[in-house]
Amino acid sequence: MTETNSKRPVRHLLGLSGGKDSSALAIYLRDRIPEMEYFFADTGAELPETLEFVDLLEDYLGKPIVRLNAKKSFEFYLQLNGNFLPTAKTRWCTSELKIRPFEEYVGSDTAITYVAIRADEQHRQGYLSTKPNISARYPFIEDGITRDMVEDILNSSGLGMPKYYEWRSRSGCYFCFFQRKDEWVKLARKYPALFDKAREYEQFHRDAGRQHTWSQGENLDDMLARADEILANAKIQQDKEDRKPKKKLFDEYSNHGDDEACLVCFL
Ligand code: SF4
């Protein structure tokens, strides 16, 4: 699949988020595109399970997964953005911590980026670079690979699903504003130090006289105070989903539907 232009070979790039879809795509393409370059844009705020899974995947692929670290930390960009926490609508975190490092890594090379949107979710829009030298391909859509098949790919490889799926629906930063309220509660119980750090960002914001919270409508302290209620509601919702025929999940207790979520971070 290597094409060439007059100067340098086209680069084939696959970005891993630590999520199931991009991981399955890496496994799926390992032998189909041997010249593939794998990369992982580490925000510095990844879950321990994500980092562990990327290490395991690297062993499986038998090739380095290049870690792209943003030149500056989340705190630096937070300050640069007037200490305004990122939100779904002002998602400066994705552009600074994920997209910019990727585009710098590609530079002016002609590159194809392989995007893990599945055949059963063609309505979703992944990150498309506005750079003319970067184009995208969608192998799962091209080959009709659906969610169940992705799980089969992961299970057959021996890697299985990343462990954070036991308590959280997506990869991404521990403080990600896309996570559901029950996932915040689980973060508090599983990684109290990370939860406290997220709470400090929010507190800093509050001290500056602002109302913005990570999760829509309430701050982390208030959320924790009604942790049992949140978990009970999430269980009711999950039971309802389990009884339905399989279709696109939408959690009414979440801040945002899957469609809105950041595919750069979660695929
Ligand atoms: S995972 Fe969430 S918080 Fe982290 S960069 Fe992506 S959208 Fe932003």
pLDDT for 152-203, tens place per residue?
Answer: 999 999 999 999 999 999 899 999 999 999 999 999 999 999 999 999 999 8
Confidence of residue 263 (pLDDT cuts 50, 70, 90): low
d(CA 267, CA 255): 18
Please choose from 87, 92, 98 the residue to mutate so as to test ligand 1's pocket, defined by most ligand atoms within 8 A of CB.
98
d(CA 158, CA 253): 33
Within 6 A (CB) of ligand 1 lie: 43, 86, 91, 93-94, 97-98, 172-173, 176, 178, 262, 265
CA dihedral 250, 251, 254, 260 (to 10 degrees): 0
Digit-coded pLDDT (tens) for 100-147: 999 999 999 999 999 999 999 877 766 667 789 999 999 999 999 999
Q: Indicate the pTM of the whole model.
A: 0.87
The CATH architecture annotation of domain 11-169 reads: 3-Layer(aba) Sandwich (3.40)
Place of tokens 């950041």: 262
pLDDT at 32: 97
Q: Residue of the nearest CA to atom 2 in ligand 1?
A: 176
Digit-coded pLDDT (tens) for 45-95: 999 999 999 999 999 999 999 999 878 889 999 888 888 899 888 889 998
Q: Residue of the nearest CA to atom 1 in ligand 1?
A: 172
Q: Residue of the nearest CA to atom 4 in ligand 1?
A: 173
Taking the CB of residue 174, how many other CB atoms lie within 10 A of it? 22
Segments making up each domain of the chain, as ranges = 11-169
d(CA 94, CA 213): 18
d(CA 266, CA 263): 5
Provide mean pLDDT across the span 236-251: 69
What is the DSSP-derived secondary structure letter of residue 177?
Answer: T
Higher pLDDT, 210 or 246: 210
Query: Mean pLDDT lowest for which of 136-145, 164-173, 211-220, 239-248?
Result: 239-248
